[in-house]
Structure 1
Amino acid sequence: MTDAVTLAAHDVRWEADGRMIIDGVTLAAEPNRILGLIGPNGSGKSSLLRLLCRLRKVASGVVTLDGADIAGLPRRDLARRLAFVEQQATTDVHLTVCDVVRLGRTPHRSAFASWNAADEQAVEAALTRVGLAERHHQPWHTLSGGERQRVHIARALAQDPRELILDEPTNHLDIRHQLSILALIRRLGLTCIVALHDLNLASLFCDRIGVLHEGRLVACGAPAKVLTPELIRRVFEVEVRICEGTGGHRHVEYVVDHQQGDSR
């Protein structure tokens, strides 16, 4: 790992029901860059993200933020520094867009503190960054799926984080909104760790890619070095061809045998 890191996992393990879910993972997020996590369903992506933001406690190993064990950081201090956008975040349908984003200010306010100008400024800035400043008072339930995801990102930004963790932020979105959300994340300029399913989106938007397989990190590096036919065959059990895409990004082309039946 490079010395210029902020959030890092060091030989992290976590198990559930007697089964090892995360098995000795070591990886690090570089400042102001996007680290993508890919892997098949059940490979441990979501579990690892929750360990990185202390929603789960590691069984062994350590997660550090600027070299300090996050287990020793006050939860409020950690929430002021690191924000997490869940895969399928739910929100009360009676709330407005502003109500949802205001929830992100919780780590910065004491239990009985009144709402102040700094809080309002943070909310407005977050909505502006995600392109929803004009939707301030719109009811939550009237938003599209892509707009709702932008609001959840705005809520995370209202925490004023330096690190942003996102669990499959493009899940259930159409292609246009997938590209829009990832382009937004790219423009934020934050240190990001994002779990993705789509290999081509990971190649297009991530600076580095970590590949999880059965709870282990089997590769981590630049997309051009990680996304190889051999690795994809081993991890995802599919055949691909790698083509050079726009801007030097690798494009994964799946090889499908239409004559082949179900191999299960």
Structure 2
Amino acid sequence: MPLKTIAFALATLSTLAFAAPALAAGPELLVPGKLQAATEGTFSPFSMRAPDGTLDGLEIRVMKEVARRMGVEYAPVLIKWDSLLIGLEADQFDVISAAMDITPERQKRVTFADGWLESGGRILTPKSSPIKSAEDLKGKTVGALVSSTFSKIAEEKGASVKGYKADADAIQDLVNGNVDAVITDSIAGAWAIKEAKLPIVMTDDYVSRVQKGFAIKRGKPELTAAIDKALAEMVADGTYAKLTSDLIGFDPAPKEPIRSQP
């Protein structure tokens, strides 16, 4: 073999040797070309079953689109809530798409992609109600989950609180005229109103706010960056709004997302 040919072959092999690790790493997925995302599959409207039996919901739609923009296959992994963090740390999947609040405690354990959805407590009232904000709750009877932060907020606003074990019961009492208002999660409230076509509305103000994030095992900066990029593009081009508004009637994208932390 001529010396020039040998030199060229060696140079090519050297280049491939340096390139291979970067290509193999990709976005740090456990299975190349597949984004395995953990979800409960039973938490409407975040994850649930469509009439045809397929998975649907806010997180399912958003994560599917994230995977598409990353150029990989979306592969949902059904798992119970209390096993999510353990499974992530044990490399059973790449990311938790289940609706998980971003909290300082969890940020010490996992890396969150940029906040993908903002929720929080909002006030539900009949359409004709004089209650327009939290400041109007004084002296009113307000329904909320027993021992919840929403109950405490209602009390702080001077309301008389009626406790419930389930949001559905509180909302039904509101429809029946047994309470003046209900404080519940904004996403859950919007879903209930839209799905059941209830004659109630939500006030514009929030009594509390929280952002939800996709959790990733620590030490995966490329995967985190890829998800952040896909989310930002989805919001910017309007795809995110189309995917989510169809389910709950409004766009829940955070105006100021909590950013990823290394």
Q: TM-score, normalization: structure 2? A: 0.23
Report the structure number with the largest CA radius of gyration. 2
